[in-house]
């Protein structure tokens, strides 16, 4: 029995080592190029050496609406070190986005997303979905659903210490 388990244990160890190497490579945030609401092209690579929160959201999503004031406050609080990019997944309601931004007083960049961008981030299974990216461009945290402001603020503060 021991003779059978030993090769299996070695196989599991090797698979673990290779899966961790792959995972480490996958933590790099993928670059993208999307149009902002005001027609400018925005690339994630434009924000090197900044902490970035990417927030996939939609105007028709109640949890997204509830989280927007927290993102506005975080942008104000950490304005010199933080960039928030709201990626709107509104397809049928795309014309509503500019008015929505104005009525909510959104103070961060909003771009129109697409399926390709969502796939770059491993797919978006629900909204809001947010990613916290460090100054080196690595994804350090992911949240599906509404996330408390304190959780994001603590993540930002932790990254500022490094």
Catalytic residue IDs: 61, 64
Q: Which residue has the tokens 């490094």?
A: 162
Joined tokens for residue 123: 């797919």
> Rounded to an integer, what distance in angstroms lies between the CA atom of residue 50 and that of residue 83?
7
What H or E segment, with its residue span, contains residue 28?
none
> Rounded to an integer, what distance in angstroms lies between the CA atom of residue 99 and that of residue 122?
30
Distances from the Cα of 39 to the Cα of 33, 47, 57, 154, angstroms: 12, 18, 19, 33
């Amino acid at each position: 029995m021991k003779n059978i388990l030993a090769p299996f244990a070695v196989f599991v160890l090797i698979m673990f080592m290779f899966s961790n190497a792959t995972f480490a490579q996958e933590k790099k945030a993928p670059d993208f190029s999307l149009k902002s609401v005001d027609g400018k092209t925005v690339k994630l690579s434009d924000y090197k050496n900044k902490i970035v929160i990417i927030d996939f959201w939609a105007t028709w999503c109640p949890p997204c609406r509830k989280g927007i004031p927290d993102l506005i406050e975080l942008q104000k609080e950490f304005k010199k070190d933080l960039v928030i990019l709201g990626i709107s997944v509104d397809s049928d309601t795309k014309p509503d986005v500019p008015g929505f931004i104005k009525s909510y007083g959104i103070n961060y960049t909003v771009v129109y997303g697409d399926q390709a961008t969502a796939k770059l981030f491993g797919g978006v299974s629900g909204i809001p979905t947010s990613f916290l990216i460090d100054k080196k461009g690595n994804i350090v945290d992911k949240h599906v659903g509404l996330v408390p402001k304190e959780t994001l603020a603590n993540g930002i503060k932790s990254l500022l210490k490094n």
